[in-house]
């Protein structure tokens, strides 16, 4: 049965775009595509998973700032910059403007996924020995992958040459591009059918999710929590100071203030928006039976992250294992604070689920490297795709 | 008025000189406008003017720069034209760096600026320069642990930096954001581009002044002239098959002795150079792509006949064969980061050793078996991250050649590299030099000796980290015609501290404490000719200069000196040399 409102239809369309592609299984092997639709000012409208809201909005803002008004129909830009929102060098984010009338984009489509490899020390993007961000992989501050609908050979070649899995990497970049185009097409379709009403419908969806969040938050006590959470790392190192999650609920909003040590020389730092994503992911895991698909939660959760620090480390800090190490500590810390406030969550189960949906479960924590099984699977897939 | 054949030749010669002058001007622009010392001080960049027609791409002229760069740049121009085909337009500007896309190693960046004649890209002003960092796993671009090219830096295929006059800002930024010192390298890239634009302007002026037809006609003369001159020389050389060999100490991956075998066949006025027999592709970062190998072979060749103008005509008499999947013709994803010098120098040396039997008077050290240290960290004076090469630590002691002792600088094929100002390094980086001087009894003995090895000590004023890579400890630079090999290379890191470590191969990411000292013996080039034929007075002068000890004079040169006056004892010297000559085995048949 068709979804009843444009927002839901857009989400369905995004999911459909992801799943219909022939490489859908490849993507599931690696990590799911996350995608979203943003308004002309870059504000989130609908997304496939609110856990990536902060970093997606950040990436879009960075891309828009880089290119200014140099956009035209059919353009698609790409970035993997952890200062702009990517988790690490292997996470590609593509952004496409959506034009209606006028010269400025009326909306933006965004799609993101992890590619199997993008340089660095080892296959898979985990480089426990990396000394800085450049050592973790090639960097793409925004570049246009498609200009006016035409694939850009130069940028495609750079993606290909800098990956150990050139076929898969290029293919995934194309999938992301197609996904962004599908989102744009869905937006245009929604505009055609429901001209003038889509914003209102999305506002209604936001209100609905807000209500759901408020209901869940009502169960929280108003006591302040302060949780110290150790950061587990797979790399032999000096002891790492724990991160701290301070949480309080004021009756309307949940305030989460993180603190932690300075950026680490180990690749366990989070990128600029990583901690915000993890907090949203953890809070969502605490009460949401299904993924949130609007920006409602950003109005209900206030997040403070010290920058620069382990929790938001700019260049040249390494970030390759950030989500799985420091990110895990943040996730568990937030859940512990929620539990202390009356909303018990099985942290292990929630983390496992989060890993599956958001991280792909690729890291062998005993080595700090890509798991052998995943490495073999990637190699086989690359060989098969390259032959095909 | 119709030009006579003679006046055409004169015009062509003027134009040939014009090309070379333009290259010099481009080079000066780069030197004066670049930021990093590797450009502005050391001149680790090269300039060339190329020409393309239906017969292919030709090098027309080069500045006095690093020949191994500019011969490889020819392939970059070919690759650009091959990829872009009809998509080359007025106002375009190209960039390339990937070794497997017409490059040599990733840090060698090339810009190519086309100049159109009759609507077609005919001339190209090109600058190829070694930038100080290209991202990748190791700051400074030399990853001694690399086992595949993705560990060496950001790979860039031919791309446009400027499209019909419009800056391609995202590609430009993409290249630069993959360097650790973006600000400095932006300046260097601007200098390269600026140099090529000056070249473009000068070539347009030339085309306007002499007319396009005359300039294009002159190209044939320029190339033919060099070809004919070299063929004339080769014709005087004895026909035959000659072999040379050079051995790299190790491959940085646990493999020892990596030989390069060169077979030179002289037939009439032609040469064939075949590197068959060279070591198979290795695990470490000394593999060379074919372009780099050919460029190094050419570098040896141009050292043989330095008075012939160097251009593609020079290489027409030469055919080259390279074994597949070898250290001199590797396949991706083999790492290649160190190949421009190691194995590059060994390729040159092997070829030069083969020519030793053809033209003994013309050969000399071609090798600079590189010792090098990349230091990186935060400069407390500026608060900024830095990556520093220090070319003072590289081999700076050339070997002897026929008629001249080795000089305190790079061997001939690298002689356009300049020894940097130590004060400039101290200004830019947290260094304090406490010793840079020749070491006694390290000069390779010969009728014309090599320059002494350098002893170099540098105190670090901030805690830093270092990547050190060394060759030429076990197989130092060879001598020629009876000249002996030079002294080897080695490092001592954290000298005199509990963390002291001696390095004869490589070490990666070593901490150097504040105030600690790096010591380098930067080896010496080989000698030329029998040391027993060296003029005794010159040996005495070497002793007075501190290059050779009294004992060394006796041991290595058969020269007896009065230890008080340092005067030559002629009678004792004659007797000493006579006894040595008697003791010498007869040369092999």
Q: What are phi and psi of B257, to 5 degrees?
A: 50, 95
**B-chain residues within 8 Å CB-CB of A71?**
none
Task: Select the residue from B135, B164, B332 to test the A interface by mutation, using most A Cβ atoms within 10 A.
Answer: B135
The residue that leads in pLDDT, A250 or A239, is: A250
Check whether residue A106 and residue A231 sit in a common domain: no
Check whether residue A181 and residue A273 sit in a common domain: no
A:B CB pairs within 8 Å? 81
CB A164 to CB B150 under 8 A? yes
pLDDT digits (tens, 9 = 90+) for A63-98: 999 999 999 999 999 999 999 999 999 999 999 999
DSSP string for A164-188 = SSHHHHHHHHHHHHHHHHHHHHHHH
- The DSSP H or E segment spanning B575 is helix B570-583
Assess if residue A294 is contained within a domain. yes
Instruction: Provide the total of helices (H) and of strands (E) in chain A, helices listed first.
Output: 10, 13
**A-chain residues within 8 Å CB-CB of B136?**
119, 134-135
Q: What CA–CA distance (Å, rounded) separates B509 from B190?
A: 31
**B-chain residues within 8 Å CB-CB of A154?**
157-160, 171
CB A143 to CB B159 under 8 A? no
Whether pLDDT at A26 is above 70: no
Q: Which of B155, B179, B180 sits opposite A161 (nearest CB)?
A: B155
Helix, strand or coil, per DSSP, at residue A153: helix
CB A135 to CB B159 under 8 A? no
Whether pLDDT at A4 is above 70: no
pTM: 0.93
Assess if residue A350 is contained within a domain. yes
Instruction: Enumerate residues 307 to 336 of chain A having a beta carbon within 8 A of any beta carbon in chain B.
Output: 316
Last residue in a domain, options A205, A235, A258: A205
Task: Select the residue from A128, A130, A147, A157 to test the B interface by mutation, using most B Cβ atoms within 10 A.
Answer: A157
CB A158 to CB B157 under 8 A? yes
For residue B209, the model assigns a pLDDT of 96
Partners of B241 in beta bridges: B265
Check whether residue A153 and residue A261 sit in a common domain: no
Average pLDDT over residues A195-218: 82
User: Which of A164-173, A287-296, B452-461, B470-479 shows the lowest per-residue confidence on average (mean pLDDT)?
Assistant: A287-296
Q: What CA–CA distance (Å, rounded) separates B352 from A263?
A: 53
Q: Where are the beta strands (DSSP E) in B168-312?
A: 240-250, 256-267, 270-274
**Residues of chain B under the 50 pLDDT cut:** 1-3, 589
Check whether residue A133 and residue A228 sit in a common domain: no
CB B177 to CB A141 under 8 A? yes
**B-chain residues within 8 Å CB-CB of A143?**
170-171, 173-174
For residue A359, the model assigns a pLDDT of 64
Assess if residue A82 is contained within a domain. yes
> How many domains is chain A built from?
2
Closest CA relative to residue B36, chosen from B154, B156, B177, B186: B186
Edge-to-edge strand ranges of the sheet holding B159-163: B56-62, B45-53, B120-130, B108-117, B93-96, B159-163, B166-167
pLDDT digits (tens, 9 = 90+) for A125-158: 899 999 999 999 999 999 999 999 999 999 999 9
Cα distances (angstroms) measured from residue A240 to each of A129, A336, B116: 17, 20, 61
Check whether residue A197 and residue A224 sit in a common domain: no
Query: CA angle, A272 as apex, A269 and A276 as ends, to 5°?
Result: 95
What is the residue range of A276's domain? 219-360
For residue B438, the model assigns a pLDDT of 92
Assess if residue A305 is contained within a domain. yes
Assess if residue A371 is contained within a domain. no
Q: Is the dihedral of CA B36, B38, B42, B44 positive or negative?
A: negative
Check whether residue A288 and residue A187 sit in a common domain: no
Partners of B46 in beta bridges: B128
For residue A291, the model assigns a pLDDT of 73
Check whether residue A164 and residue A293 sit in a common domain: no
Pairing relationship of beta strands B431-438 and B506-512 according to DSSP bridges: unpaired
Closest CA relative to residue A78, chosen from A185, A183, A170: A170
Q: Which of B151, B170, B174 sits opposite A121 (nearest CB)?
A: B151
Whether pLDDT at A196 is above 80: no
Q: Does A386 touch chain B (CB under 8 A)?
A: no
For residue B6, the model assigns a pLDDT of 66
**A-chain residues within 8 Å CB-CB of B171?**
143, 154-155
Q: What CA–CA distance (Å, rounded) separates B74 from B63?
A: 14
Check whether residue A93 and residue A185 sit in a common domain: yes
Q: State the average pLDDT for chain A.
A: 88
Q: What are phi and psi of B201, to 5 degrees?
A: -60, -45
Structural domains of chain B ordered from first start = 5-226 (3.30.450), 365-534 (no CATH), 536-583 (no CATH)
Q: How far apart are the CA of B143 and the nearest CA of chain A, in angstroms? A: 10
Check whether residue A103 and residue A237 sit in a common domain: no
């Amino acid at each position: 049965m068709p979804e009843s409102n444009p927002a839901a239809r857009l989400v369905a369309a995004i999911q459909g775009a992801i799943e219909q592609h022939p490489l859908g299984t490849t993507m599931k092997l690696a990590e799911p595509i996350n995608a979203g639709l943003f308004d002309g000012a870059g504000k989130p409208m609908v997304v496939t998973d609110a856990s990536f809201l902060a970093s997606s909005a950040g990436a879009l803002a960075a891309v828009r700032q880089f290119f200014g008004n140099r956009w035209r129909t059919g353009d698609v830009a790409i970035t993997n910059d952890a200062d702009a929102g990517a988790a690490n060098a292997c996470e590609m984010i593509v952004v496409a403007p959506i034009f209606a009338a006028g010269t400025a984009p009326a909306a933006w489509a965004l799609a993101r996924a992890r590619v199997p490899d993008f340089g660095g020390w080892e296959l898979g993007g985990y480089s426990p020995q990396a000394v800085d961000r450049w050592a973790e992989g090639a960097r793409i501050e925004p570049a246009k992958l498609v200009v006016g609908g035409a694939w850009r050979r130069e940028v495609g070649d750079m993606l290909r040459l800098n990956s150990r899995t050139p076929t898969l990497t290029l293919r995934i970049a194309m999938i992301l591009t197609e996904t962004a185009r599908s989102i744009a097409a869905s937006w245009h379709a929604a505009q055609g059918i429901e001209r003038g009403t889509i914003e209102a419908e999305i506002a209604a969806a936001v209100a609905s999710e807000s209500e759901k969040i408020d209901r869940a938050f009502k169960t929280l006590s108003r006591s302040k929590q302060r949780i110290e959470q150790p950061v587990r790392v797979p790399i032999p190192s000096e002891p790492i100071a724990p991160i701290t999650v301070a949480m309080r609920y004021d009756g309307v909003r949940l305030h989460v203030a993180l603190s932690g040590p300075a950026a680490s020389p180990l690749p366990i730092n989070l990128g600029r928006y990583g901690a915000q994503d993890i907090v949203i992911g953890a809070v969502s895991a605490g009460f949401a039976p299904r993924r949130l698909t609007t920006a409602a939660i950003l109005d209900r959760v206030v997040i403070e992250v010290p920058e620069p620090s382990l929790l938001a480390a700019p260049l040249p800090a390494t970030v390759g294992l950030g989500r799985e190490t420091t990110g895990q500590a943040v996730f568990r810390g937030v859940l512990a604070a929620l539990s202390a406030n009356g909303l018990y969550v099985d942290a292990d189960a929630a983390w496992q689920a989060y890993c599956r949906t958001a991280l792909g479960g690729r890291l062998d924590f005993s080595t700090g490297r890509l798991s052998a099984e995943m490495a073999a699977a990637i190699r086989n897939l690359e060989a098969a795709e390259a032959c095909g | 008025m119709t030009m006579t054949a003679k006046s055409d030749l004169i015009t062509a010669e003027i134009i040939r000189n014009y090309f070379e002058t333009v290259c010099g001007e481009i080079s000066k622009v780069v030197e004066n406008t670049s930021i990093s010392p590797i450009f502005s001080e050391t001149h680790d960049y090269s300039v060339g003017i190329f020409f393309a027609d239906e017969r292919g791409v030709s090098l027309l002229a080069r500045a006095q720069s690093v020949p191994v760069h500019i011969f490889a740049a020819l392939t970059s121009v070919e690759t650009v034209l091959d990829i872009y085909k009809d998509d080359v337009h007025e106002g375009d500007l190209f960039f390339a760096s990937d070794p497997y896309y017409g490059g040599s190693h990733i840090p060698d960046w090339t810009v190519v600026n086309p100049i159109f004649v009759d609507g077609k890209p005919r001339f190209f002003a090109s600058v190829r320069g070694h930038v100080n960092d290209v991202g990748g796993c190791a700051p400074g671009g030399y990853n001694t642990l690399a086992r595949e090219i993705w560990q060496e830096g950001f790979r860039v295929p031919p791309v446009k930096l400027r499209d019909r006059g419009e800056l391609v800002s995202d590609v430009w930024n993409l290249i630069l954001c993959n360097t650790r010192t973006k600000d400095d390298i932006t300046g260097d890239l601007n200098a390269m581009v600026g140099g090529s634009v000056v070249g473009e302007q000068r070539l347009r002026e030339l085309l306007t002044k002499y007319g396009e037809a005359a300039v294009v006609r002159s190209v044939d003369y320029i190339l033919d002239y060099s070809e004919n001159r070299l063929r004339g020389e080769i014709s005087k050389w004895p026909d035959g098959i000659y072999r040379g060999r050079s051995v790299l100490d190790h491959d940085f991956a646990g493999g020892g002795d990596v030989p390069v075998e060169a077979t030179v066949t002289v037939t009439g006025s032609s040469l064939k150079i075949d590197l068959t027999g060279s070591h198979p592709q290795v695990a470490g970062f000394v593999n060379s792509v074919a372009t780099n190998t050919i460029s190094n072979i050419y570098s040896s060749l141009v050292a043989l006949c330095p008075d012939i103008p160097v251009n593609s005509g020079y290489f027409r008499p030469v055919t080259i064969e390279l074994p597949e999947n070898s250290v001199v013709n590797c396949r991706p994803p083999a790492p290649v980061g160190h190949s421009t010098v190691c194995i590059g120098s060994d390729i040159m040396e092997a070829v030069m050793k083969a020519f030793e039997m053809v033209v003994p008077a013309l050969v000399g050290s071609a090798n600079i078996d590189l010792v090098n240290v990349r230091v990186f960290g935060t400069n407390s004076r500026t608060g900024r991250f830095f990556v520093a090469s220090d070319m003072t630590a590289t081999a700076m002691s050339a070997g002897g050649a026929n008629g001249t002792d080795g000089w305190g600088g790079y061997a001939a094929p690298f002689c356009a590299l300049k020894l940097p100002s130590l004060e400039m390094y101290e200004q830019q980086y947290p260094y304090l030099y406490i010793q840079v001087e020749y070491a006694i009894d390290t000069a390779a003995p010969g009728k014309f000796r090599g320059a002494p090895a350098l002893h170099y000590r540098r105190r670090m004023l901030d805690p830093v980290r270092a990547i050190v890579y060394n060759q030429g400890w076990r197989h130092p630079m060879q001598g020629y015609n009876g000249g002996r090999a030079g002294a080897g290379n080695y490092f001592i890191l954290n000298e005199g501290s509990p963390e002291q470590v001696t390095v004869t191969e490589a070490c990666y990411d070593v901490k150097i404490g504040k105030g600690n000292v790096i010591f380098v013996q930067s080896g010496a080039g080989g000698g030329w000719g029998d040391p027993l034929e060296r003029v005794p007075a010159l040996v005495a002068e070497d002793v007075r200069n501190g290059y050779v000890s009294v004992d060394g004079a006796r041991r290595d040169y058969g020269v007896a000196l009065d230890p008080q006056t340092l005067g030559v004892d002629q009678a004792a010297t004659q007797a000493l040399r006579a006894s040595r000559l008697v003791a010498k085995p007869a040369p092999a048949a």
